Amino acid sequence: MIKSVILVPQNEAWIIERFGRYNASKEAGLGFIIPFIDRISGVRSLKEQAVDVPSQSTITRDNITLTVDGVLYFRVIDPYKATYGVDDYIFAVTQLAQTTMRSELGKLELDKTFEERAALNASIVFSINDAAEPWGIQVMRYEIKDITPPTSVMEAMEAQMKAERVKRAHILESEGARQSAINNAEGEKQARVLKAEADKQEQILRAEGEALAIRKVAEAQAEALVTIGAAANTPNGEKAMQLDLGIKAIEARQAIAKESSVILLPDGATDIASVVAQAMAISKKLGAKE
């Protein structure tokens, strides 16, 4: 009775054979078998398992030899197939992962193996699941750990990356110089515009000032003439005008004498009184015409 009772742990499946032939698969819980007739031929874990895929050499599409390793995650979904479909399902799925990885990497060029690692992992999983279905194995995911190219290729890649960084540095430097030149040109342009505006404003203010000064001078002269005219209408003013005109006439004759050696004088021009009388007569005529 004791040998007929079995307790199957959680996430395990026991394969029961009767007379050497498959009878049943017992999963977690209490189970019964017939002693001496039934026997446990295999124990299969239903947990997800991680298997390290050994590193191997593979050739890319552009004939570059790479050393690649990875990790395979899978679980048993059918204990019967995992027991009777393959002798060692862990070894079989590991070998299948290696061959599939070589096949998928052979479709890609070297640069794509680094850029499309996620797509490469998905392709490997799809291919393994398609082949491992008769074994009762489901691959959950595959992760490539390391991709190691040859030393010469690594040196060439490093040189290429260095050249690319130098190129980007030169581009950034030239862009900075161009932007600096643009900023300087914009600054000079704005400075010239502001200077022109300042000169224009200065000229306007100067012109307004000169116009105002001319108006003030004209107004002062007009007021002076009015005052002189008012004073000239008086007897004393008239005498003062005669005296002023006489003095100016004498000064004018003296200036002419200095400029020329020949002087033409009208009759009686040597008489000061006659000169003053003539000047007064001319002044009165001009006043009458106005």
pTM: 0.52
Bridge partners (DSSP) of residue 8 are: 29
Q: Which tops the pLDDT comparison, 171 or 112?
A: 171
> What's the pLDDT at 166?
85
**Ranges for all domains in the chain classified under CATH 3.30.479.30:** 49-149
Q: Which of 24-28, 103-107, 274-278, 282-286 has the lowest mean pLDDT?
A: 282-286
Tokens of 90: 């862990």
More confident residue, 88 or 288: 88
Query: What percent of the chain lies above the pLDDT cut of 70?
Result: 81
Mean pLDDT is lowest, of 109-118, 240-249, 262-271, for: 262-271
pLDDT digits (tens, 9 = 90+) for 45-74: 888 999 998 888 888 888 888 888 889 999
For the cut 70, the answer to whether the pLDDT of residue 287 exceeds it is: no
Site of tokens 């007929």:
4
Q: Are 15 and 79 in contact (CB under 8 A)?
A: yes
CA end-to-end span of the chain: 159
pLDDT value for 111:
79
Mean residue pLDDT across the chain:
80
Main-chain dihedrals φ then ψ at residue 36, nearest 5 degrees: 70, -15
Domain 49-149 has CATH 3.10.110.10: no
Q: In terms of C-beta density within 10 A (0-12 exposed, 13-18 middle, 19 or more buried), how is residue 120 classed?
A: buried
Predicted local confidence at residue 152, as pLDDT:
77
Supply the pLDDT for residue 51.
Answer: 92
Q: How far apart are CA 257 and CA 267, in angstroms?
A: 18
Note the pLDDT of residue 74: 92
The 3-state DSSP composition of the chain as helix, strand, coil percent (nearest 5) reads 60, 20, 20
Nearest to 70 by CA among 45, 102, 48: 102
Check whether 289 has a pLDDT greater than 50: no
- pLDDT score of 216: 84
